[in-house]
A and B are shown apart, each in its own frame.
Chain A
Amino acid sequence: MAPAGSDRRLRTRLIVALILGATLLVVAAFGVGRFSVPNTGAPDTFSAEAGFARDMQTHHLQAVELSMIVRDATDNPEIRLLAYDIATAQSQQAGQMHGWLNVWGLPQAAPEPPMTWMARAVPGGSGHDHGAATGGFVAGERMPGLATDADLAQLRSLAGVGAEKLFLRLMIAHHSGGIEMAEAALERTTNATVSSLARGMVKAQQSEVSYMQKLLEKRGA
């Protein structure tokens, strides 16, 4: 009688200990996972991710427009191929950003002026490294590198080498501004999808800038 009773007690105790142990293990594992990994929830409509996805679409689509204009304005195969590259690549990237907003359940239309997300301080940033941490960007101002309506009108009016040179100048500025925006996004996001595309933009556009500078030199500018 007594041994049977103590056996049962022992078993109960063991089960309780196992359950508690398992619970604590689950809790600990969940906690570690939860706090060591960036929050994977969808960004909200005022986030840097959403702001970047909206503004960069606008920025990219102007690069597409510039490229299509110059493709019609010149027969030069180098320039036409570069323009083809930029137009298709940036359309595709704009499409990715469009898709993010849809997946995040956010409107494509911005709830605040362009660049507002860039004008906000970098989270955890020291803020005193020559103002470049926030980039000195001002909400509602023209995005860096965007060509003006007058630039576009002038490009449309030109043909041949004249169009090529203006295109290269505009696109070098455009890419440089795009790199600034992508870097601003990288400073403000932990979202792996956003970071990956932004990093790709920085890399590809930097190399295209140096290529375009060579093309421009070749044309005596």
Chain B
Amino acid sequence: MARRTRPSAGTGAADPANSSKPLSVKEERQQRRQAKVATFKLAQERAKRRRRLAIILSSVASVAVLGLVVAFVVTSNAPATKTTVADLTGVQTWDVPGAVHVDPKQVDYKAEFGMDPPAGGPHWAEWLNCGIYTQPQQNERAVHDLEHGAVWITYDANKVTGSALETLRKRVPATYAVLSPYSGLSTPVVVSAWGAQLKLAGVNDKRLDAFIKKYWQSPDAPEPGAPCTGGVDGPGRI
């Protein structure tokens, strides 16, 4: 801000006159009036400057704040579009009771938990190696895979054959997934994870991808990332 020398109103202007000769009363009065007017004008001018300065500064501040807001919006990531899964209607979920090892006892998942195929629960210590199988698998081993974050895709071998089966095989994730036939399914394909299951209309049902997106290696499984290899190869592994 420019520094201004403040003229001492009145006295300074009067000094030279004072030294030359004494002023008449009239002259003095006039001089005082002039000084007053000068002071007033000065104050007015100062107020004007102040207003102008305030306008400039507040404009600068507004622009800065606006720029900041724009910059923030532009540079901040769009909030990770949380998997608003396209279509996951029909998923059945269970609050799975425990994950104890019960081998060699077999578990009646349907009677005990209302799950068929099983989607979690007690299981055997030896897990099934993930992969594609042409024959039905031991439930108690596959459930151990679900505990490790795998999805288990089961299909009705009478309804899903030939090119339909090929299509389904291509949709199986490369790791942490088991594909096997299962008898007594109510729909052609059923996909299960720990505590969740979805009955699919067929091998092209779009909801399979949505299910995998949500449940494959999900932190909702007790041990996602635990191995799906190094266990037991079931019958008919290809």
Binding site for B on A (CB under 8 A): 9, 13, 16-17, 20, 23-24, 27, 30-31, 34-35, 39, 41-45, 57-58, 61, 64-65, 68-69, 91, 94-95, 98, 102, 104-109, 111, 114
> Please, how many angstroms separate the alpha-carbon atoms of A7 and B173 in the complex?
77
Q: Which of B10-18, B99-107, B112-120, B222-230 contacts A (4 or more CB under 8 A)?
A: B222-230
Known interface pairs A16-B57, A20-B61, A23-B64. Does A61 touch B173 (Cβ–Cβ under 8 Å)?
A: no
Chain A residues lying within 8 Å of B68, measured Cβ to Cβ, are 27, 30-31
> Please, how many angstroms separate the alpha-carbon atoms of A106 and B217 in the complex?
11
Closest chain-B Cβ to A194's Cβ sits at a distance in Å of 15
In the complex, the answer to whether B230 meets A108 with C-beta atoms within 8 Å is: no
In the complex, the answer to whether B80 meets A65 with C-beta atoms within 8 Å is: no
New contact pairs (7) apart from A23-B65, A27-B65, A45-B81, CB-CB < 8 Å:
A17-B57, A27-B61, A45-B80, A61-B175, A69-B230, A98-B225, A108-B149
Known interface pairs A34-B75, A102-B219, A106-B80. Does A27 touch B213 (Cβ–Cβ under 8 Å)?
A: no
Nearest neighbor of B131 in chain A, beta-carbon distance = A149
In the complex, the answer to whether B57 meets A58 with C-beta atoms within 8 Å is: no
Q: Which of A20, A30, A39: most chain B CB closer than 10 A? A: A20
Q: Taking the complex as formed, is B76 at the interface, i.e. its CB lies under 8 A from any CB of chain A?
A: yes
Chain A residues lying within 8 Å of B219, measured Cβ to Cβ, are 102
Chain A residues lying within 8 Å of B58, measured Cβ to Cβ, are 20
In the complex, which residues 180-238 of chain B have their Cβ closer than 8 Å to any Cβ of chain A? 212-214, 216-219, 224-225, 227, 229-230
Closest chain-A Cβ to B158's Cβ sits at a distance in Å of 29
Chain A residues lying within 8 Å of B61, measured Cβ to Cβ, are 20, 23-24, 27
> Please, how many angstroms separate the alpha-carbon atoms of A69 and B227 in the complex?
13
Chain A residues lying within 8 Å of B213, measured Cβ to Cβ, are 107, 109, 111
> Please, how many angstroms separate the alpha-carbon atoms of A34 and B68 in the complex?
10
A-B residue pair count with CB separations less than 8 angstroms: 85
Known interface pairs A24-B64, A31-B71, A61-B227. Does A109 touch B217 (Cβ–Cβ under 8 Å)?
A: yes
Chain A residues lying within 8 Å of B78, measured Cβ to Cβ, are 44
Closest chain-B Cβ to A207's Cβ sits at a distance in Å of 25
In the complex, the answer to whether B76 meets A41 with C-beta atoms within 8 Å is: yes
> Please, how many angstroms separate the alpha-carbon atoms of A175 and B81 in the complex?
34
In the complex, the answer to whether A107 meets B72 with C-beta atoms within 8 Å is: no
Chain A residues lying within 8 Å of B164, measured Cβ to Cβ, are none
Chain A residues lying within 8 Å of B229, measured Cβ to Cβ, are 61, 65
Q: Taking the complex as formed, is B174 at the interface, i.e. its CB lies under 8 A from any CB of chain A?
A: yes
A-B contact pairs, 19 of them (CB 8 A): A13-B50, A20-B57, A24-B60, A24-B61, A34-B72, A39-B75, A39-B76, A44-B77, A44-B80, A45-B80, A64-B227, A68-B227, A98-B224, A98-B225, A106-B83, A107-B216, A108-B149, A109-B212, A111-B213
In the complex, which residues 88-104 of chain B have their Cβ closer than 8 Å to any Cβ of chain A? none
Nearest neighbor of B229 in chain A, beta-carbon distance = A65
Closest chain-A Cβ to B179's Cβ sits at a distance in Å of 15
> Please, how many angstroms separate the alpha-carbon atoms of A17 and B230 in the complex?
72
Interface size on B, residues (CB 8 A): 36
Minimum-distance CB pairs A-B, first 9: A108-B217, A41-B77, A109-B216, A27-B64, A65-B229, A107-B213, A105-B80, A20-B57, A109-B213
> Please, how many angstroms separate the alpha-carbon atoms of A94 and B58 in the complex?
53
> Please, how many angstroms separate the alpha-carbon atoms of A57 and B225 in the complex?
9
Nearest neighbor of B209 in chain A, beta-carbon distance = A109
**Which of these, A31, A42, A69, contacts B80 with CB under 8 Å?**
A42
Q: Taking the complex as formed, is B3 at the interface, i.e. its CB lies under 8 A from any CB of chain A?
A: no
**Which of these, B175, B227, B230, contacts A58 with CB under 8 Å?**
B175
Q: Taking the complex as formed, is B26 at the interface, i.e. its CB lies under 8 A from any CB of chain A?
A: no
> Please, how many angstroms separate the alpha-carbon atoms of A68 and B226 in the complex?
13
Q: Taking the complex as formed, is B170 at the interface, i.e. its CB lies under 8 A from any CB of chain A?
A: no
Q: Taking the complex as formed, is B82 at the interface, i.e. its CB lies under 8 A from any CB of chain A?
A: yes
Q: Taking the complex as formed, is B54 at the interface, i.e. its CB lies under 8 A from any CB of chain A?
A: yes
